[in-house]
Amino acid sequence: MLRVLVVDDSALMRKYIREMLEEEGDIEVFTARDGQDALDQIPKVDPDVITLDINMPVMDGLTCLSHIMTEFPRPVIMVSSLTEKGALATFEALELGAVDYIPKPGGTISLSIKDIRPELIAKIRAVARSRTRWSKLRIHRAKPEKITIKKARPKITRDIPGLVLIGCSTGGPGALEEILTQLPPDFPLPVLVAQHMPARFTNVFAKRLNQSCQLEVREVNRPLPLQVGEILIAQGDADVEVRRKLGRKVAVNLPMDKQLLWHPSVDRMVRSALKCLDPKDIIAVQLTGMGYDGAEAMTELHRLGGRTIAESEETAVVFGMPRELIERGGADVVLPVHKIADRLIKWTM
pLDDT at 144: 46
Q: Name the pairing type of β-strands 248-254 and 239-245.
A: antiparallel
pTM: 0.89
C-alpha–C-alpha distance, residues 246 and 262, integer Å: 30
Please indicate whether residue 278 is annotated as part of the active site. no
pLDDT digits (tens, 9 = 90+) for 230-273: 999 999 999 999 999 988 999 999 999 999 999 999 999 999 99
| CATH of the domain spanning 2-137 | 3.40.50.2300
Please indicate whether residue 140 is annotated as part of the active site. no
pLDDT digits (tens, 9 = 90+) for 113-152: 788 899 999 999 999 877 655 555 454 444 444 445 667 7
Ranges 26-35, 71-80, 323-332: which has the least confidence:
71-80
User: With contact defined as beta carbons under 8 Å apart, do 8 and 14 qualify?
Assistant: yes
Asked whether residue 87 carries a pLDDT value surpassing 90, the answer given is no
What share of the chain in percent tops pLDDT 70? 91
Set 81, 130, 196, 265: catalytic member: 196
Set 81, 110, 130, 169: catalytic member: 169
Domain 163-348 has CATH 3.40.50.180: yes
Residue 200's pLDDT band (cuts 50, 70, 90): confident
User: With contact defined as beta carbons under 8 Å apart, do 143 and 264 qualify?
Assistant: no
Packing angle, helices 320-327 and 295-303, rounded to 10: 40
User: With contact defined as beta carbons under 8 Å apart, do 66 and 95 qualify?
Assistant: no
Name the DSSP letter for residue 237.
Answer: T
C-alpha–C-alpha distance, residues 217 and 4, integer Å: 36
pLDDT at 325: 98
Mean pLDDT, residues 276-298 = 97
| Domain boundaries along the sequence of the chain | 2-137, 163-348
pLDDT at 146: 47
Tell me the residue type at 249.
K
> Given this chain, do its domains 2-137 and 163-348 carry the same CATH topology?
yes
pLDDT at 225: 96
pLDDT at 155: 65
pLDDT digits (tens, 9 = 90+) for 159-195: 899 999 999 999 999 999 999 999 999 999 999 999 9
Packing angle, helices 340-348 and 172-180, rounded to 10: 40
Mean pLDDT, residues 29-49 = 96
Set 239, 263, 293, 302: catalytic member: 293
Average pLDDT across the chain, whole number: 90
Please indicate whether residue 293 is annotated as part of the active site. yes
